[in-house]
């Protein structure tokens, strides 16, 4: 029973770490996309910063709920 419990804990940790990696990759891609929009003149740097800040804030709130 103890072995089964440890195995479940390890599997949960792997799942959790995969989620963290996925969130980090999504954040990086979002920031890169916003930077490209700023560089192309589609949005201002102020708008870009606001978008990234809002995205990071929402992401942080979501992760705290977990």
Of 30, 19, 18, the residue nearest 56 (C-alpha)? 30
Predicted confidence (pLDDT) per residue in 7-62, tens digit: 999 999 899 889 888 888 999 999 999 999 999 999 999 999 999 999 989 888 87
64: pLDDT strictly greater than 80: no
* pLDDT confidence band for 2 (50 / 70 / 90): confident
DSSP annotation string for 25-61: HHHHHHHHHHHHHHHTTSS-HHHHHHHHHHHHHHHHH
Distance CA 13, CA 20 (A): 10
- pLDDT of amino acid 34: 97
66: pLDDT strictly greater than 70: no
């Amino acid at each position: 029973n103890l072995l089964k419990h440890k195995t479940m804990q390890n599997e949960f940790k792997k799942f959790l770490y995969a989620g963290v990696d996925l969130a980090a990759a999504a954040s990086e891609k979002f920031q890169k996309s916003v930077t490209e929009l700023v560089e192309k003149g589609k949005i201002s740097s102020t708008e870009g910063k606001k978008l990234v800040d809002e995205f990071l804030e929402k992401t942080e709130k979501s992760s705290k709920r977990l």
